[in-house]
């Protein structure tokens, strides 16, 4: 097995412990195997610290049919916090459809104007209470699921429907994007509630909310969205999860999800040139090339020890790892997702959520010039090596932020849009 080169090795100091050198020199990239195997600087605040970026775009300059973050936020709020108006429209539609089956539903009719009498009126709570009192051959929860479906039928139109469609081309992609996008929207709105989504795996979505009524509505919403956006009749089971925070697991039939996946090219092998090998063992990527192309990546094993780092991290930390160890928690503080438990399996469950890490000062180096530098990216689970790959880039908004952290433009690869963000920011 090829050893990691000096550029890719995190322990490049000459005066290192022999055991640490041997351990770190054996670090290899999971993609090359197929069996399990000193100055003080004041840092410029990054974009994450600025509060000027929010969802309130200047709509007067945006075409009426343009899709914006405002519509995306409104679409997701249908699932997490539908407005009184949304609930009212859905309830009226529900009554029209099912009043013959359940005559008691007619008692839920109310005047639309009454919704605006009280500024913080919880109309949904009243609906739930009234459902418990009507005489029907279905439980209040079954009717709440149908109400969730009607919320989508009545409100998921026009730009709201387009906003939902942009999340993914099939249901699994949709669930994964729902996880990551909602996390970002909560950050921009400084929402500190526990409400949120976690796409924990294929066909599994976990929803956190203090209000059980929303969990039943979401079940109906997911059924209707799957039917309306992807043309499939979903099979979804919901179950509560024990714990201090109310959480609910939604399980989708795996066979149903697999039916959605179809290749864009029927026979991709026929499109390959004969000179290109189709054997996966011949398609390895050299460690040095990978570490140069992606300087801000690292790979962790199941104990969260660093197995490989890119050139960017190597330049910052390689002289300290022989004495300070290889634990990722020694060098990185995980800022997002919020409340993340630093355990391997817990991180694997959050691979659909954007990650933000901040560099820590190595032990004994409180004046470390890159302390606090934020790196934004994503985690990728590599099952062939049972490891986690983080790929990201520095989260900066200008040249001053770059240089104050001891970085250079050359530290940002050509393919990384961060280069343009920095240079365009200077022009502004």
Radius of gyration of the chain (CA): 26
List the alpha helices (DSSP H) in 294-354: 311-317, 321-324, 328-331, 344-349
Q: Hey, where are the domains in the chain?
A: 18-47+285-427, 62-196+210-233
- 412 neighbors 393 (Cβ within 8 angstroms): yes
Is the pLDDT at 398 greater than 90, yes or no?
Answer: no
Give the 3-state secondary structure of residue 380: strand
pLDDT at 191: 63
Determine how β-strand 204-208 pairs with β-strand 306-309: unpaired
Question: Under a CB-based contact definition with an 8 Å cutoff, are residues 222 and 236 in contact?
Answer: yes
Task: Determine which of 2-16, 233-247, 380-394 has the lowest per-residue pLDDT on average.
Answer: 2-16
Token pair listed for 382: 């590599």
Q: 19 phi and psi, to 5 degrees?
A: -65, -45
Pairwise CA distance, residues 175 & 204, whole Å: 8
Structure-model confidence comparison of residues 113 and 95, the more confident one: 95
* C-alpha–C-alpha distance, residues 175 and 168, integer Å: 8
- Is this model's pTM higher than 0.75 or not? no
DSSP state of 229: H
Q: What's the whole-number mean pLDDT along residues 108-113?
A: 88
Q: What is the largest CA-CA distance in the chain?
A: 83
- The CATH code of the domain at 62-196+210-233 is 3.90.1520
Mean per-residue pLDDT, 331-349? 92
Q: Are 18-47+285-427 and 62-196+210-233 in the same CATH fold?
A: no
β-strand 297-300 against 374-382: which pairing, if any? unpaired
Phi, psi of 24 (to 5 degrees): -75, -30
User: DSSP assignment, residue 337?
Assistant: S
Of 75 and 253, the one with more pLDDT = 75
CA distance 285 to 263: 25
Task: Please check whether residue 57 is in contact with residue 69, taking contact to mean a CB–CB distance below 8 angstroms.
Answer: yes
More confident of the two residues 25 and 361: 361
Chain Cα centroid distance, residue 203? 16
Distances, alpha carbon 326 to alpha carbons 268, 273, 303, 357, 361, in Å: 41, 43, 10, 16, 14
- For residue 81, what pLDDT is reported? 93
Of residues 122, 301, 146, 291, the one with CA closest to residue 218: 146
**Mean pLDDT of all residues in 313-320:** 92
* pLDDT bracket for residue 413 (50, 70, 90): confident
For residue 353, the SS3 value is coil
Among candidate residues 298, 225, 403, 264, the one with its CA nearest the CA of residue 29? 298
Confidence of residue 104 (pLDDT cuts 50, 70, 90): confident
Mean pLDDT (the chain, rounded)? 80
For residue 378, with 0-12 CB atoms within 10 Å meaning exposed, 13-18 middle and 19 or more buried, which class applies?
A: middle
- Asked if 144 and 130 count as a contact pair (C-beta separation under 8 A), the reply is no
Distance spanning both ends of the chain, measured CA to CA? 49
In terms of average pLDDT, the best of 126-140, 262-276, 389-403 is: 389-403
3-state secondary structure of 330: helix
Using alpha carbons, select from 69, 14, 322 the residue that is nearest to residue 184. Answer: 69
Structure confidence by residue, pLDDT tens digits, 17-35:
444 444 444 444 444 444 4
Per-residue confidence band for 411, with pLDDT thresholds at 50, 70 and 90 = confident
pLDDT digits (tens, 9 = 90+) for 283-306: 677 888 899 899 999 999 999 999
Interatomic CA distance for residues 167 and 174, integer angstroms: 5
Contact yes or no for 207/194 (Cβ under 8 A): no
Domain 18-47+285-427 falls under CATH 3.30.450.260: yes
The DSSP code for 366 is: T
Residue ranges with strand state E in 242-324: 247-252, 297-300, 306-309
- Contact assessment for residue 404 and residue 41, using Cβ atoms and an 8 Å cutoff: yes
Q: What is the C-alpha separation between 198 and 177, in angstroms, rounded?
A: 10
pLDDT, average across residues 24-47: 42
Dist CA 132 CA 312 (whole Å):
60
């Amino acid at each position: 097995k090829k050893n990691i080169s000096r550029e890719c090795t995190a322990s490049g100091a000459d005066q290192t412990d022999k055991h640490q050198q041997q351990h770190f020199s054996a670090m290899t990239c999971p993609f090359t195997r197929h069996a399990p195997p000193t100055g003080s600087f004041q840092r410029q605040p990054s974009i994450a610290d600025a509060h000027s970026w929010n969802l309130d775009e200047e709509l007067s300059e945006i075409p009426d049919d343009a899709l914006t973050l405002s519509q995306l936020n409104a679409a997701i709020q249908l699932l997490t916090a539908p407005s009184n108006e949304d609930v009212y429209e859905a309830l009226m539609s529900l009554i029209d459809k099912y009043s013959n089956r359940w005559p008691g539903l007619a008692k839920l009719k109310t005047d639309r104007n009454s919704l605006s009498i009280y500024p913080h009126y919880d109309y949904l709570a009243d609906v739930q209470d009234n459902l418990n009192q009507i005489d029907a051959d279905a439980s209040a929860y079954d009717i709440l699921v149908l109400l969730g479906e009607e919320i989508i039928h009545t409100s998921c139109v026009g730009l709201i429907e387009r906003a939902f469609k942009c999340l993914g081309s099939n249901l699994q992609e949709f669930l994964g994007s729902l996880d990551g996008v909602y996390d970002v929207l909560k950050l921009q709105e400084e929402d500190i509630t526990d409400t949120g989504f976690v796409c924990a795996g294929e066909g599994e979505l976990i929803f956190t909310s203090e209000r059980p009524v929303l969990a039943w509505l979401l079940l109906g919403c997911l059924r209707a969205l799957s039917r309306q956006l992807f043309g499939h009749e979903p099979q979804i089971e919901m179950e509560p999860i024990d714990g201090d925070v109310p959480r609910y697991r939604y399980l989708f039939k795996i066979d149903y999800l697999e039916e959605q996946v179809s290749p864009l090219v029927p026979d991709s092998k026929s499109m390959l040139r004969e000179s290109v090998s189709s054997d996966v063992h011949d398609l390895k990527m050299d460690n040095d090339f990978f570490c140069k192309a992606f300087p801000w990546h690292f790979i962790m094993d199941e104990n969260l020890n660093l197995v490989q780092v890119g050139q960017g991290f190597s330049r910052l930390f390689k002289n300290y790892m022989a004495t300070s160890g290889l634990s990722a928690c020694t060098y990185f503080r995980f800022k997002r997702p919020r409340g993340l438990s630093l355990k391997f399996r817990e991180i694997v469950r959050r691979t659909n959520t954007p990650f933000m890490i901040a560099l820590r000062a190595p032990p004994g180096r409180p004046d470390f010039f890159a302390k606090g530098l934020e790196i934004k990216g994503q985690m990728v689970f590599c099952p062939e090596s049972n490891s986690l790959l983080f790929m990201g880039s520095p989260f900066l908004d200008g040249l001053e932020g770059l240089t104050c952290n001891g970085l250079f433009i050359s530290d940002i690869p050509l393919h990384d849009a961060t280069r343009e963000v920095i240079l365009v920011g200077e022009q502004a």
